[in-house]
Structure 1
């Protein structure tokens, strides 16, 4: 009864009146106008389409018009003509009854109560249409009362424009940018990492400029089309070496820890090499690693993510199984699985993959934080699991990455500029399913685990993460629609895209004002965020002590490694593997005890949480939860218009606005909640106690 192949239980009661006739509304004379974006064109439409309400499994619904444009599929009901009862959290680009063409996952037609997947040319047209979306919404439309010619046009149009392969420049992204060239690119303080200065600033911020340098070797993409124009490498690496090896086998800097240890990533050399080439590459890597491992940071741990984490195919398979639990036709189907829910959930393996990824990130954090060891992540192209692990490590260890602008800058650095293949992994062009994998969604899912476990540590909310995952399928932003910076650049500067009215420019998703008005944007900001206090001169010593405490974990003394450096006994074996064969799991590559991870993990969790220091997720058993707001799209309590945590957050936001208003009027400076208790003396607390009214113990 799950997923797109679910079959509804056949009722024993026979009715001779169709459900639509029972709930039919009188035709309205209101003209419902379709709002078109710049560059958006109406392709086909159908009137008298009946849209079912999904939540309760009944046949209740409403009549309206179903349209398909070069941007979206939209249902316009009678209520669309009015602005009454609009939700507080409203997207200005994609409405509640809108589905962007990139968001369509599968389309089914219903023929005599039997569902059939619709692809390509259709010989017979269905009486009902079911659209399953990549954001896990499900839409049911009845075409029984629609004119036959309109049914043919709308069904053929929707299937063709959402399911068939297309060229990159046929995406709505280009139509919108051409028609609206003067839209401002608001970055909201997000560092885009498209200039040399951005990389130098990040090196200075993390104190990584002692051993690493930003290079311009790839200007004009003369080294590699997959690498960004600018990136950071160890100081010892020459531009000639980068050119010679075309960027492969070059350790690229991601981030530096406070201890001086660095997180790096590297794309492996091609597997097939002749002996002379292998020897040259071995000598090259040997020299680089010895330089990186200079005292006092003598160790370099190599982590081959291709062997220690699930493959992209495994991730895709697990997520496909997982989403079938939520792509339901109605709530009756969902609750019918209640008895075997946990076994079904476990069998998908999706939550286990999340747990394994979080565990790997903790292992890397341990090397950087406790062992002061450089960590080199290796992957074939270093643009998939490398992006996931490096991003998670920075979110756990760098409180800046837990602010909204910091997190957005992190995504730009590691994913957008870092060359993650968004176009292929999201299958935006419907060209090949074999490259599709929800790698970026996996990261957001892992970050969500941290957000729901430690809400005060994050400036953004789970709603922010949900909206960000939805933005993967909104083709007016270039952020998630290219495989590399090179691909974006050549498609931006092409002669065919030059227009008279101004320069050709894509929007970035980080300009949230494009999708939301200021009131709706408030839902993206966490009112409970424990903002890091800015110490003044009188508090500098106290703040410094706190900073030192958060950076050093209270762990037992560990035995120092007898192997002084990475290249002593393991050089030949590891180099051979790096050059071709799969590298083994080097979890215990040093002499650390097998229980080192558990000791590190348990010791950290036994201490009070510092929301601005190291943050480790709880990963045991039921601690890994389902992201309800993202996956339960049809349950009102889990969504923005309904109740649950979102309604609570809305009320808190209202209170916060009142508090901020009072703070602006007050002479007393506004202080973070975390410092109130420290700054108030006992006399003030006694006076506050006198202000309370004694209710005589009548309160329960």
Structure 2
């Protein structure tokens, strides 16, 4: 497909741009296959605004006939006549831009181009396949981590665990990587049978080894016991091999007991006590899917309410239930970390599909327990392992954000919820995490619209088929370049081997203003102050070292 087919009007003069934190400006608007480019034409100004079309969540247009005078720009008023149109662009990063475009036809043409090019169906037509920064090479190895690297790096695993290539052609589980870490006593034939017993083929695999006591975190999808209480002997043996001679392990099911019971009626289910007698099942209900998406929409609506009524604001914030989801995620992750760190027992985590809330709490638990995950590189490697490689369907979940008028069943801001929870940890433990809030904001933006291929597709298999690792650049590697790393590092970071246990009391949790209110003047002033403090700390550190 030629992008030019969808661009009836490529350039428009005398466009007025209104955007948060900036005065209105007049200039030239240009539409390309992947971007909107606005160039200010005021005397002495060469300012440009480049917006990735993929970042646009919704386009609203209005057209009117005009006769009169335009507003002053650089001290001038201009007589206008004819028709004009206004495009309101609501972005996935929560920016709201307004374009006043002279000429009704030009306005409608621009709107049509944006609506078409902002939601291209084919992944290979998106911008990451065209992006070629001068300081990155496609010849470099792609990514920071993999099951192979994790297994080889964790020598303690080699006695009782092995690296299996049973999924080398993605035939056993489409959403897993080609290599997985499993108990040494479980052969590949058994794994194939276990995969048939678990939804989507997501059989239990190791995601974390706790070096302090040698216990592990496993993750999977729900067992397909169904109404007839179907059993799988190989699945039972696999879980028994995980705990070996230990007295018991825990299964944390991210559904309520009632939801798990209801799942049996549609072929799903849970591990029964009689078949898994050394495992204790704990239910912790976590919302997902549509409920989480609606929560985000309500929160963003509340943040955009300009009535300045405190009671109304607090009511809307509470009704969105977003902070309740944050609290549930952190408390469930804390429970998982307690089972491993304090009780010394291995844990299997799953919900129904095992691609959303399962990954959320396993990631947070590792951040709580393991200092290696709290550096910039360690955190990015953790995200790659637990989200990108573990089969979180980014393409489906992040297709739209809070403004879109079209809703797809698969959309859900689970990854954004993770970043919010990490921000809560970062705020409660400002010295314990080696990265800054700026990194979290960058990741929140990139997950929805990116120049890089890291968050494309829904699984490792899809990335392989589309040659994402050969034809696009890796975001995580780009963030570790020296200049970037300095921006995203926490200058106050102090390494600690201790676990960081978050408080989940209501008074301990706050709205993530840096993201949800990032385009307001108050938040921008706070950011500027934080940046100044950061620069002072870095300069002080340099003086001490010299």
Q: Could you state the TM-score of these two structures normalised by the residue count of structure 2?
A: 0.81
Per the alignment, in what secondary structure is the counterpart of residue 447 of structure 1?
helix
Query: In the superposition, relative to structure 1, how do residues 373 and 619 fare at CA in structure 2: closer, same or farther (>3 Å)?
Result: same
Which residue does the alignment assign to 1:629? 514
Q: Which has the larger radius of gyration?
A: 1
Matches within 5 A, 1:216-235: 216-235=165-184
Q: Tell me the CA shift for residue 660 of structure 1.
A: 2.2
- Whole-angstrom CA distance in 1 between matches of 2:322 and 2:295: 5
Per the alignment, in what secondary structure is the counterpart of residue 163 of structure 2?
strand
Whether the 8 Å CA contact 1:234–1:251 is kept in 2: the answer is: no
Query: In the superposition, relative to structure 1, how do residues 517 and 413 fare at CA in structure 2: closer, same or farther (>3 Å)?
Result: closer
Cα-to-partner distance string for 1:118-157 (whole Å, 9 max, x where unaligned): xxxxxxx9721111111111101222xx134422321221
Which residue does the alignment assign to 2:292? 315
Whether the 8 Å CA contact 2:452–2:473 is kept in 1: the answer is: yes
Query: In the superposition, relative to structure 1, how do residues 652 and 633 fare at CA in structure 2: closer, same or farther (>3 Å)?
Result: closer
Structure 1 residue 161 corresponds to structure 2 residue 117: yes
Which residue does the alignment assign to 2:277? none
Which residue does the alignment assign to 2:523? 638
The one of 209, 214, 225 aligned to 1:256: 209
Which residue does the alignment assign to 2:529? 647
Which residue does the alignment assign to 1:415? 387
Per the alignment, in what secondary structure is the counterpart of residue 263 of structure 1?
strand
Which residue does the alignment assign to 1:508? 474
- Whole-angstrom CA distance in 2 between matches of 1:465 and 1:49: 33
Structure 1 residue 173 corresponds to structure 2 residue 173: no
Query: In the superposition, relative to structure 1, how do residues 181 and 525 fare at CA in structure 2: closer, same or farther (>3 Å)?
Result: closer
Matches within 5 A, 1:99-110: 99-110=51-62
The one of 7, 25, 34 aligned to 1:62: 25
Query: In the superposition, relative to structure 1, how do residues 131 and 380 fare at CA in structure 2: closer, same or farther (>3 Å)?
Result: same
Whether the 8 Å CA contact 2:136–2:473 is kept in 1: the answer is: no
- Whole-angstrom CA distance in 2 between matches of 1:161 and 1:311: 29
> 1 or 2 for the larger relative contact order (CA 8 Å, sep ≥6)?
1
Q: Tell me the CA shift for residue 61 of structure 1.
A: 1.2
Gaps of 5+ in 1: 1-40, 85-94, 114-124, 494-502, 533-610, 666-700
Whether the 8 Å CA contact 1:67–1:154 is kept in 2: the answer is: no
Whether the 8 Å CA contact 1:71–1:101 is kept in 2: the answer is: yes
- Whole-angstrom CA distance in 1 between matches of 2:205 and 2:56: 37
Which residue does the alignment assign to 2:274? none
Which residue does the alignment assign to 1:482? 457
Q: Tell me the CA shift for residue 159 of structure 1.
A: 2.0
Which residue does the alignment assign to 1:570? none
Which residue does the alignment assign to 1:526? 490
Whether the 8 Å CA contact 1:106–1:131 is kept in 2: the answer is: yes
Whether the 8 Å CA contact 1:67–1:73 is kept in 2: the answer is: yes
Deviates more, 1:46-55 or 1:337-346: 46-55
Q: Tell me the CA shift for residue 366 of structure 1.
A: 1.2
- Whole-angstrom CA distance in 1 between matches of 2:196 and 2:135: 37
Per the alignment, in what secondary structure is the counterpart of residue 169 of structure 2?
helix
- Whole-angstrom CA distance in 2 between matches of 1:511 and 1:487: 21
The one of 75, 78, 85 aligned to 1:127: 85
Q: Tell me the CA shift for residue 79 of structure 1.
A: 6.2
- Whole-angstrom CA distance in 2 between matches of 1:452 and 1:179: 36
Q: Tell me the CA shift for residue 82 of structure 1.
A: 4.9
Gaps of 5+ in 2: 1-6, 66-82, 257-284
- Whole-angstrom CA distance in 2 between matches of 1:262 and 1:513: 29
Which residue does the alignment assign to 1:292? 242
Matches within 5 A, 1:269-308: 269-270=223-224, 272=226, 278-279=230-231, 281=232, 283-295=233-245, 297-307=246-256, 308=285
Q: Tell me the CA shift for residue 203 of structure 1.
A: 3.0
Cα-to-partner distance string for 1:509-549 (whole Å, 9 max, x where unaligned): 113369x982x65331111111x3xxxxxxxxxxxxxxxxx
Query: In the superposition, relative to structure 1, how do residues 448 and 513 fare at CA in structure 2: closer, same or farther (>3 Å)?
Result: closer
| Greater per-residue strand proportion | 2
- Whole-angstrom CA distance in 2 between matches of 1:628 and 1:337: 18
Which residue does the alignment assign to 1:191? 144
- Whole-angstrom CA distance in 2 between matches of 1:505 and 1:155: 30
Count of aligned residue pairs for this structure pair? 487
Structure 1 residue 617 corresponds to structure 2 residue 499: no
- Whole-angstrom CA distance in 2 between matches of 1:462 and 1:51: 29
Cα-to-partner distance string for 1:46-71 (whole Å, 9 max, x where unaligned): 21111225459xxx511112222222
Matches within 5 A, 1:440-451: 440-451=415-426
- Whole-angstrom CA distance in 2 between matches of 1:435 and 1:659: 47
- Whole-angstrom CA distance in 2 between matches of 1:160 and 1:392: 37
Which residue does the alignment assign to 2:348? 376
Query: In the superposition, relative to structure 1, how do residues 55 and 475 fare at CA in structure 2: closer, same or farther (>3 Å)?
Result: closer
RMSD: 3.1
Per the alignment, in what secondary structure is the counterpart of residue 437 of structure 1?
coil
Query: In the superposition, relative to structure 1, how do residues 179 and 80 fare at CA in structure 2: closer, same or farther (>3 Å)?
Result: farther
